[in-house]
A and B are shown apart, each in its own frame.
Chain A
Amino acid sequence: MKKEGKKAPVAQKKQSFGVYMKRYWQLYVLLALPMLYLLIFKYVPMIYIQIAFKKYSIVQSVWEMPLAANHGFEYFIKAFKNRDFINALRNTLVLNLLDLVLGFPVPIIFALVLNELVFKRFKRVVQTIAYMPHFLSWVIIYGLALQIFAPSTGFLNMILTGLGFESIPFLNDSAHWVGTYIFLGIWQSFGWNSIVYLAAIAGINSELYEAASVDGAGRFKKMWHITLPGIKPTIVVLLVMNLGNILGSSFDRPFALQNNLVMDSAEVLATFVYKNGIKGLQFSLTTAVGFFQSIVCVIFLLLANWISRKLGERGIW
């Protein structure tokens, strides 16, 4: 606001409020609806967080409900004594960590590979194909997974049994299911996530490559010494965001992919909250779980950002 002094043609002196509003009222009118939306749908729900600390009752308003035992922390204590919750917490962490460790490098590698392609048309076709899975919903991916991975009727198991191998229970056994879950996550997102890296690569000064060629650097030397350092800031930003989300959980992917046989390794916090809260009506308990999750997410994000700045990178803000 106080950036006067630029050669702005509009008078920037101390305007009176009336004069200012006469010029700018339209902008506030335009903003009104989005702000109202954010207020109602993002801020008002925060009022309901207090039921995590209160005994939920359907007849009273949130403000009138009595405080829960143990200074209001009863439901947090209950949650941590709940085996299902601990299980969901562990699964959320494990699945997200596996996603990070196995999934994070894939789009980077894919972008590097695409960047080496000399046939531009072919490159565009590969990109289009690789973006396709991102546009499929998790329900559809689940449908595809059934066709590919089902025990006897699945495409892969038909091939395996046809070749004389045992069929693999990709979807029905906990350990295999985790593998399938991670694979499908990578399959769905690697192409899409490579877009950002490709853009970062495109922004690298091409003279660097020419100079390196003159010095006799080969393909992989150039990748290692020019491309990777060039996209390092992008990698760091995305890594920070991913680390910040290590306890976050999407709902669509685990809910669509899980089945009763693998629930001990497939139940995550988001699905736990849905089943015990909206279906099971334990509102106080599940609000406490959700609040715990949101707080941890914010802390992790701040922490990851702080670390990356300590290491001399830009971080996300």
Chain B
Amino acid sequence: MIKSKSAKVGDWCFVIVCILVSVICVVPMLNLLARSLSSTEALIKHQVYLWPKGWNFEAYSTVLSDMKYVRAFFWTVFLTMICTLVSLTMTTLCAYPLIFENLRGRSVINIFITITMFFNAGTIPNYLLMKSLNLLNNPLVLIIPSCMSVYNMIIMRSFFYGIPDSLRESAEIDGASYFRILVSIYLPLSKPVFATLALFYAVGRWNGYSDALMYVNKEIFYPLQLFLYNILNNINSVEVATQEGFSSPGLTESLKAAIVMFSTIPILCIYPWLQKYFIHGVTMGAVKE
């Protein structure tokens, strides 16, 4: 179809709107990057906008040589990997049996699960539970209490529903056990949903800090975000910077910028590659059965 001139002008208007929106999304990150790479002097004089002034990698080298930060970083990487693995396993264990329509007790189980989505006991009851399970100040508290999201389970279950029953039925006729069917039919076909949920769980753990704030007092178990929160609020400062007597506000500022940058990069590097998967996942979660 040939477009009229006014329609073409309209097209360009939408392009401009989108460019503006993208700029609003990106500017804070650019500003952060610029600050982390600028010299102390330029920062104190308020000269840094979107491009670094007086290139300076000191902030990054300081952060990288700060044992506390590096420790927190790798602890969080480790924690995130464990959490993702555990959560994916739990989610699969829950989603798979529920696709069998002739599973006895299925409707009761479904109600049992759904109630937890709409009613939450509250912060204090949860806290008292952790206390009575001896999970306070235990690194397991960062893994176990959040090891399955019912919402994500529903996403996985709708994905499983999309796998043709005939595949399963032919395997049943061949005498495969249900466990076998899961491992050799469902898991290999479910890469997209696993990629999506792995991303959701990993991002959740990487970005989460409230559980650590409430349940953990020992600084060695702090995930990166809580560590970062404390730095941003000057509750604790970077070890090296205080030890060696750097107290100039400019450096502290570029240090903070560099730390925020470091804490963001892993996720920013991963999510664009998984875009086509998570779009599908989000959409499935919104479709009700």
Contact = CB atoms under 8 A, between A and B. Distances in A.
A37 interface: yes
A257 to B, nearest CB: 11
Contacts of A118: 11
Nearest to B229: A139
Contacts of A237: 286, 288
Given A110-B21, A129-B26, A37 B148 contact: yes
Interface in B67-104: 90-91, 93-94, 96-98, 100-104
Contacts of B263: 137, 140
Contacts of A264: none
A128 interface: yes
Contacts of B228: 139-140, 143
Interface residues of A, number: 99
Contacts, number: 267
B65 interface: no
Interface stretch (A21-29, A77-85, A86-94): A21-29
Interface string A256-295: 1000000000000010011001100001001100110110
A303 interface: no
Contacts of B275: 124, 127-128, 131
A113 B14 contact: yes
A3 interface: yes
A120 to B, nearest CB: 12
A46 B123 contact: no
Given A26-B179, A122-B18, A144-B29, A34 B148 contact: yes
B279 A195 contact: yes
Contacts of B61: none
Nearest to B263: A140
A30 B98 CA distance: 10
A24 B177 CA distance: 9
A45 B125 contact: yes
Interface stretch (A66-74, A97-105, A146-154, A172-180): A146-154
A244 B267 CA distance: 31
A196 B286 contact: yes
B120 interface: yes
Given A110-B21, A130-B21, A140-B263, A31 B279 contact: no
Contact of A148 (B31, B43, B123, B124): B31
Contacts of B109: 31, 35
Interface size, B (range) = 35 or more
A63 interface: no
Contact of B124 (A123, A198, A290): A290
Nearest to B106: A1
Please indicate which of the listed interface residues A40, A129, A256, A270 has the most CB atoms of chain B within 10 Å of its own CB.
A129
A35 B112 CA distance: 9
B208 A137 contact: yes
B282 interface: yes
A31 B229 contact: no
Interface of B: 1, 7, 10-11, 14-15, 17-19, 21-22, 24-29, 31-32, 35, 43, 46, 49, 90-91, 93-94, 96-98, 100-104, 106-107, 109, 112-113, 116, 118-129, 133, 144-145, 147-148, 150, 153, 169, 172-173, 177-179, 182, 203, 206-210, 213-214, 225-226, 228-229, 232, 253, 256-257, 260, 263-264, 267-268, 271-272, 275, 279, 282-283, 286, 288
14 contacts: A9-B172, A20-B104, A26-B179, A31-B94, A45-B121, A48-B124, A113-B14, A139-B226, A147-B257, A195-B279, A287-B125, A291-B122, A293-B122, A317-B288
